[in-house]
Amino acid sequence: MSLVLRHSEISSLLDRTAVFGAVERALSELSTGTAQNPAPSSMNAAEDGRIIPMAAQSGTAELAVVKVLSDLPGNRARGLPRQRSTMLVTSTHTGECVAVLDGRAITAIRTAAASAVATAHLARADSSVVGVIGAGNLAVEHVRALYSIRDLESVVVWSRSADTVERFRDNIADLDLKIEHAVSVEDVVRQSDIVCTLTPSVEPILFGQWLDAGTHLNVVGAAPRPGEREVDGEAMARSRVVVDSTATALSKSGDALLAIAEGAVDHSHFDTELGDVITGQKTGRSTDAEITLFDSTGIGLEDLAVAEMVIQRAHATGEGTEIDLTS
């Protein structure tokens, strides 16, 4: 039997603290070789769209996932989300289709969890001010994830839309945080210990000349396309860069590839994976003055880790619909 879970059902099963642990363990498994996450391919779709199948396998869980991510800029004119995804989870022991899952909630929360894992291992221990560039749902999830692992005092937020900032305020009103609406991206960077870029930007909106010693950045928002980015080459060059997957970053991260193309850095600048920092195989932050940067492209293994947790909880609570796909 295969379990089918809708977005609303998945949202009710997700626990942010558990997701943090699941993502951290998955990245550790990638470092130790008990999990696999090949670089994803990319296929053309209509109106400059891309279809990106993201695969991963966990030997510990005996599960594999393929998430089909659709990145369709033309959807904005239709009033539809630019990105949509569906996950197919398969047993590597029996070959059975274990589950079919909507990808929206899992993707958003595992993305924020990966940034929180990176922040836990790379940011200064005394970091207390988080800056978010972009104020949509991903910003809400990032603040909640970071609030759970750092003793935060305030949030500095910037968005092109004042209405979006107000919704952001409402959505984190239950947290004990001072919230400041910044006048510019530079204002966010100058005031924050931890900076998260969470926009679908094509050109850099954050510049390396603004960075102060000791800052940690989570660079997250740009679409997984080699020609789109949020930060410039100087930001990359000034930072100790850590990636979720070197292979994925060097095929899909415009932040990385455009910095290389400009000559700001070379390929070796991206050879430290977050899992290697977690397991102690490589060094993350070396001094309080160092600038650290997590280049988050998002990988299928993070999806698989959270999907496994969701499937287990669904079976325990009776959520979802069981279907015999072989009948």
Bridge partners of 102, per DSSP, are: 86
Strands 321-323 and 2-5: antiparallel
Q: Which residues of the chain are under the pLDDT cut of 50?
A: none
What is the structure's pLDDT at 28? Answer: 98
What is the structure's pLDDT at 313? Answer: 97
- Asked whether the domain spanning 116-298 has the same topology as the one spanning 2-106+301-323, the reply is no
Dihedral Cα 249, 252, 255, 257, nearest 10 deg: 80
What is the structure's pLDDT at 140? Answer: 97
**Pair 294, 218: CB distance under 8 Å:** yes
CATH superfamily name and code, 116-298:
NAD(P)-binding Rossmann-like Domain (3.40.50.720)
Both tokens of 291, joined, read 């600038």
Threshold 0.75, pTM exceeds: yes
Output the CA torsion sign for 124, 125, 127, 130: positive
Helix or strand or coil: residue 72? coil
What is the structure's pLDDT at 223? Answer: 87
Both tokens of 192, joined, read 């924050």
- Name the DSSP letter for residue 319: -
Annotated domain spans of the chain = 2-106+301-323, 116-298
* CATH placement of domain 2-106+301-323: 3.30.1780.10
What is the structure's pLDDT at 315? Answer: 97
What is the structure's pLDDT at 119? Answer: 98
What is the structure's pLDDT at 153? Answer: 97
What is the structure's pLDDT at 260? Answer: 98
What is the structure's pLDDT at 123? Answer: 98
